[in-house]
């Protein structure tokens, strides 16, 4: 029988985290499209982006940019996700 590890205190489900990040930076009427992007982006994060993002992450961002998503919103979503997932590796400590 497989056992489940108890959730860490304060650890939120990734879906909740993604909705929170997207709704903080994207206008409400565009949230669904950017939430799909955020889910796919989150799936590519296996390690902190040091010294650079892996190829899979870059191709994903390119795919969504070509589909018409705003590079600015994608950048804000990525910055917030990285700041939550890898706080020590976060470069920007601003109000975002």
Q: What is the pLDDT of residues 38-78, one digit of tens each?
A: 999 999 988 888 888 999 999 999 999 999 999 999 999 99
Does residue 50 lie within any of the structural domains?
yes
Q: How many domains does the chain have?
A: 1
* Alpha carbon distance 96, 87 (integer Å): 13
Cα dist. 24→1, 8, 80, 81 in Å? Answer: 41, 24, 9, 12
Look at residue 46 in the predicted model and tell me its pLDDT.
80
* pLDDT for 8 beyond 60: no
Range 32-44 burial, b when 16+ CB lie within 10 A, else e: ebbbebbeebbeb
Structural domain containing residue 73: 14-87
Is residue 48 domain-resident? yes
Q: Give the model's pLDDT for residue 61.
A: 97
Mean pLDDT of all residues in 76-90: 86
- For residue 82, is pLDDT > 70? yes
């Amino acid at each position: 029988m497989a056992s489940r590890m108890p959730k860490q205190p304060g650890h939120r489900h990734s879906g909740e985290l993604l909705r929170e990040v997207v709704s903080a930076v994207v206008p409400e009427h565009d949230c669904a499209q950017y939430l799909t992007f955020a889910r796919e982006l989150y799936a590519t994060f296996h390690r902190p982006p040091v010294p650079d993002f892996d190829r899979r992450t870059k191709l994903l961002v390119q795919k969504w940019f070509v589909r018409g998503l705003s590079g600015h919103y994608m950048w804000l979503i990525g910055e917030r996700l990285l700041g939550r997932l890898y706080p020590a590796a976060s470069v920007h400590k601003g109000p975002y």
